[in-house]
Chain A
Amino acid sequence: ETGVTQTPRHLVMGMTNKKSLKCEQHLGHNAMYWYKQSAKKPLELMFVYSLEERVENNSVPSRFSPECPNSSHLFLHLHTLQPEDSALYLCASSQGPSSYNEQFFGPGTRLTVL
């Protein structure tokens, strides 16, 4: 396992539920990311935080709401999701935005929306 942890590992929720995904990095990095991975599609970048400031938001629906209270923790708050939001949600971290920006992934949360 890498120095990035995610909880829960699996989540099943109804369309009216509210839940949160948590990510923690122990690598001393200052950038954190949320990605979505759906079957047969490339990894999709959702949000990027650098030093607790959101620096990228790739047209993600408002039913996904990120929160970064400090440089080690990242949350993704979920509400009124749709079945098509079922996917693997991956958190990653990196040192920063330079070209040598190696990103390291957590184990992911497998989300199923009923």
Chain B
Amino acid sequence: EVQLVESGGGLLQPGGSLRLSCAASGFTFSNYEMNWVRQAPGKGLEWVSCISSTGSTIYYADSVKGRFTISRDNAKNSLFLQMNSLRAEDTAVYYCTRLFSSWGQGTLVTVSS
């Protein structure tokens, strides 16, 4: 069974940094592109970033480009999202997803002073 478990969310002040993790199991992680999607409270879904299976190809939404960095460790079946220069509008539940067919439960990031 595919399992994705996000962690690393929390409350922090504007301008801060946070690193989200997504632990994958139940499939060959190194074979799959992975994505991060976020959802602000009461709002719709927003695609954030994706990384190819080898990590060689990466894309970002304009709203996070230059501030967020996606990465992966295929040896540890893990996906990461390094978030810097955080803003109030980055407040959201962050989901990792495999092919958009399998999703984690999400981790909440709250940016507030």
- Answer yes or no: do A and B interact: no
List B residues at the A interface (Cβ < 8 Å): none
